[in-house]
């Protein structure tokens, strides 16, 4: 079979516009690697990386043979993903159209019921479910024997048992990066040969706004440090990558693993700069010093709020004081720091949001991201917000973290949008901050500032009030990009 895996055009998410960021789709690359390992012909099309819109996809597809389509879904890009599926079925009626990823995992029945061109939904981890699906379609085997999928059987929707998570992550082949446009990815608006890696799946933390544990389980499965170092070494040697971003939910969750991994990097002499996420309560100065020695230069801390009650409301499990100490420790070592803050959490008020903005300015990271609280399907936050009728915007394309979709105690959608824009301005236009950044790297800072305020101005003009589009419609919306 000819298999096509697609990361759909991204016209909803603002990260490309605001941060100038496009990153390799690791999930598709893992599926592609497993398929190739089993002699399946596979192509990956990463539309955001190559600036391809739906019309471009139609033209590309018309020249291809496709027997099975696998589309990656996220909540803000689900309409584009469905449009890709519909176009594919129009041009290749006999092609099996499948959807996978976060949104498909948590909304499988809706996708099948409301989109008759979708044949199969692959839930949770998709590597071996997709491989079994290829085998079943090729050899006319029943789909009911494949765990972890939903499919249509005539007028009946069928859900098979949940697939067991992959316990031995070392058994997976490395992602098929040769199928990706590695020279087209961007950071801060500049094309760079960069790579992403992931060393673990699962998260034991119970944050109400995060779908990771629902997707991969509360039990954390780690690759061996040797296996992860092998992949890093190969990526650097084969693609001349100078920068790697680790996509683990909490890279520093188990310090002993991090020490072993860093030891492998140092002993092999792997020359690459990397960054990762870290919880403010899961590291110490000695660990960060060793990470620095191994090439780590950037840490992203999920702070979320500067108010303890808000942190408790979302079951973050951290203290404001821990966050304060974390930034001081990281900066003492010389790390670049990014603070991820969220505005509009449950119980949020103007006062608590002001505390969060003030906290960001006091800990003074190199960069700060001010997202708006967004209840994604699969999270406790979504269940609660839906039950209480708090979600005011029902168009999935607004679920971007940068557009308001629910109101708080005393803040309307418009108030939240204005507050987010003011947060960016208050943080980035401080005289001392400007001087510090300009003295470090004028070009990089200028690019970041341009992207941030370009995005802020665009957010200001976005129509919000009165938006209540049905999230499950699949119209090809918005005009094509120039």
- Listed in sequence order, the residues at least 6 apart from 231 whose beta carbon sits closer than 8 Å to its beta carbon are 174, 197
Residue corresponding to tokens 């003011």: 422
Reading the block at residue 378, the tokens are 């699969």
What is the percent of the chain with per-residue pLDDT over 70, rounded to a whole number?
Answer: 88
User: Within a domain: residue 103?
Assistant: yes
Gyration radius of the chain over CA positions: 22
Angle at which helix 350-363 crosses helix 413-428, to 10 degrees, equals 20
What does the pLDDT average to over 122-132?
97
CB distance 347 to 378 below 8 Å: no
- Is 441's pLDDT higher than 70? no
CA angle, 283 as apex, 428 and 426 as ends, to 5°?
Answer: 10
CB distance 358 to 331 below 8 Å: no
User: Within a domain: residue 283?
Assistant: yes
* Residue 452: predicted pLDDT: 61
What does the pLDDT average to over 270-281?
93
SS3 395: coil
Q: Does one domain contain both 454 and 372?
A: yes
B/e letters for 222-256, b = 16+ CB within 10 Å, e = fewer, are bbbbebbbbbbbebbeebebebbbbbbbbbbbeee
Considering only 11-15, 286-290, 465-469, which range has the smallest mean pLDDT? 465-469
Across the chain, what does the average pLDDT equal?
88
Q: Does one domain contain both 429 and 357?
A: yes
Q: Does one domain contain both 347 and 453?
A: yes
What does the pLDDT average to over 30-56?
96
Q: Does one domain contain both 200 and 319?
A: yes
Considering only 68-77, 236-245, 268-277, 385-394, which range has the smallest mean pLDDT? 385-394
- Is 297's pLDDT higher than 80? yes
Q: Does one domain contain both 27 and 74?
A: yes
* Residue 280: predicted pLDDT: 92
| CATH classification of the domain holding 13 | 3.40.50.2300
Per-residue pLDDT tens over the stretch 338-382: 999 999 988 899 999 999 999 999 999 998 999 999 999 999 999
What distance in Å separates the CA atoms of residue 422 and residue 428, rounded to the nearest whole number? 10
- Is 447's pLDDT higher than 90? no
Banded model confidence at residue 242, pLDDT cuts 50, 70, 90: confident
Domain that holds residue 337: 193-460
Half-sphere exposure of 42 (CA within 13 A, CB side): 29
Compute φ and ψ for 159, nearest 5 degrees: -120, 120
CB distance 414 to 464 below 8 Å: yes
Q: Does one domain contain both 204 and 262?
A: yes
User: Within a domain: residue 170?
Assistant: no
Structural domains in the chain (count): 2
Q: Does one domain contain both 214 and 152?
A: no
**Residue 172 buriedness (CB in 10 A; 0-12 / 13-18 / 19+):** middle
What distance in Å separates the CA atoms of residue 242 and residue 177, rounded to the nearest whole number? 15
Q: Does one domain contain both 14 and 116?
A: yes
What distance in Å separates the CA atoms of residue 340 and residue 350, rounded to the nearest whole number? 19
Banded model confidence at residue 27, pLDDT cuts 50, 70, 90: very high
What distance in Å separates the CA atoms of residue 423 and residue 368, rounded to the nearest whole number? 9
Q: Count other C-beta atoms under 10 Å from residue 163's C-beta.
A: 19
Q: Does one domain contain both 122 and 229?
A: no
What distance in Å separates the CA atoms of residue 60 and residue 57, rounded to the nearest whole number? 5
Read off the DSSP letter of residue 167.
Answer: S
Considering only 97-101, 228-232, 312-316, 448-452, which range has the smallest mean pLDDT? 448-452
User: Within a domain: residue 385?
Assistant: yes
Banded model confidence at residue 469, pLDDT cuts 50, 70, 90: very low
Of 112, 134, 159, which marks where a domain is finished? 159
Q: Does one domain contain both 446 and 318?
A: yes
Reading the block at residue 219, the tokens are 């039990």
* Residue 110: predicted pLDDT: 95
What distance in Å separates the CA atoms of residue 292 and residue 330, rounded to the nearest whole number? 10
Reading the block at residue 146, the tokens are 């494949």
Considering only 23-37, 386-400, 406-420, 437-451, which range has the smallest mean pLDDT? 437-451
* Residue 283: predicted pLDDT: 83
* Residue 476: predicted pLDDT: 36
What distance in Å separates the CA atoms of residue 282 and residue 286, rounded to the nearest whole number? 12
| CATH classification of the domain holding 368 | 3.80.30.20
CB distance 70 to 100 below 8 Å: yes
Query: Could you tell me how many residues make up the chain?
Result: 482
Q: Does one domain contain both 248 and 390?
A: yes
* Residue 192: predicted pLDDT: 75
What does the pLDDT average to over 417-432?
90
User: Within a domain: residue 188?
Assistant: no
- Is 411's pLDDT higher than 50? yes
Q: Does one domain contain both 101 and 217?
A: no
Between 477 and 126, where is the model more confident?
126
Residue corresponding to tokens 């680790």: 246
User: Within a domain: residue 172?
Assistant: no
What distance in Å separates the CA atoms of residue 34 and residue 130, rounded to the nearest whole number? 9
- Is 299's pLDDT higher than 50? yes
Per-residue pLDDT tens over the stretch 180-239: 999 888 776 677 778 999 999 988 887 888 888 888 887 899 999 999 999 999 999 999
Q: Of the candidates 144, 161, 162, which has an alpha carbon nearest to the alpha carbon of residue 153?
A: 144
What does the pLDDT average to over 124-134?
97
Beta bridge partners of 121: 99, 150
- Is 48's pLDDT higher than 60? yes
CB distance 122 to 107 below 8 Å: no
């Amino acid at each position: 079979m000819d298999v096509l895996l697609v990361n759909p055009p991204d016209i909803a998410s603002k990260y490309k516009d605001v941060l100038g960021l496009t990153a390799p789709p690791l999930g598709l690359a893992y599926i592609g690697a497993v398929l190739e390992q089993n002699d399946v012909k596979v192509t990956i099309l990463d539309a955001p990386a190559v600036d391809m819109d739906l019309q471009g996809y139609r033209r590309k597809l018309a020249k291809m043979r496709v027997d099975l389509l696998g589309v990656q879904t996220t909540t803000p890009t689900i309409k584009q993903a469905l449009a890709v599926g519909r176009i594919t079925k129009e041009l290749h009626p006999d092609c099996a159209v499948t959807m996978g990823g976060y949104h498909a995992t948590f909304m499988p029945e809706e996708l099948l019921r409301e989109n008759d061109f979708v044949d199969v939904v692959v839930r949770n981890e998709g590597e071996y479910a997709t491989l079994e699906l290829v085998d079943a379609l090729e050899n006319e085997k029943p789909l009911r024997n494949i765990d972890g999928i939903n499919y249509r059987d005539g007028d009946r929707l069928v859900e098979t048992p949940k697939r067991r998570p992959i316990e031995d992550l070392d058994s997976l082949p490395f992602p098929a990066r040769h199928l990706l446009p590695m020279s087209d990815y961007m950071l801060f608006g500049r094309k760079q040969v960069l790579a992403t890696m992931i060393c673990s799946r699962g998260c034991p933390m119970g944050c109400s706004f995060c779908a990771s544990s629902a997707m991969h389980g509360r039990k954390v499965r780690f690759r061996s440090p040797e296996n992860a170092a092998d992949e890093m070494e190969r990526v650097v040697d084969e693609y001349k990558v100078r920068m790697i971003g680790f996509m683990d939910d909490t890279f520093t969750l188990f310090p002993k693993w991090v020490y072993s991994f860093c030891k492998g990097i140092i002993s092999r002499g792997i020359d690459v700069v990397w960054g990762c996420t870290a919880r403010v309560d899961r590291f110490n100065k000695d660990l960060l010093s060793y990470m620095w020695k191994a090439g780590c230069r950037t840490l992203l801390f999920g702070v979320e709020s500067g108010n303890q009650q808000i942190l408790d409301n979302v079951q973050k499990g951290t203290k404001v004081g821990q966050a304060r100490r974390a930034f001081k420790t990281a900066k003492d070592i010389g790390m670049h720091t990014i603070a991820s803050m969220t505005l509009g959490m449950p119980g949020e008020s103007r006062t608590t949001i002001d505390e969060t903005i003030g906290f960001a300015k006091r800990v003074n990271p190199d960069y700060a991201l001010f997202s708006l609280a967004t209840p994604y399907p699969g999270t406790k936050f979504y269940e609660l917000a839906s039950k209480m009728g708090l979600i005011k915007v029902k168009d999935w394309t607004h679920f971007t973290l940068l557009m308001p979709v629910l109101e708080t105690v005393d803040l309307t959608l418009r108030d939240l949008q204005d507050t987010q824009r003011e947060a960016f301005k208050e943080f980035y236009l401080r005289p001392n901050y400007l001087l510090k950044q300009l003295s470090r790297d004028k070009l990089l800072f200028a690019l970041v500032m341009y992207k941030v305020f370009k995005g802020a101005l665009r957010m200001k003009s976005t129509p919000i009030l009165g938006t209540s589009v049905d999230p499950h419609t699949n119209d090809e919306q918005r005009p094509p990009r120039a």
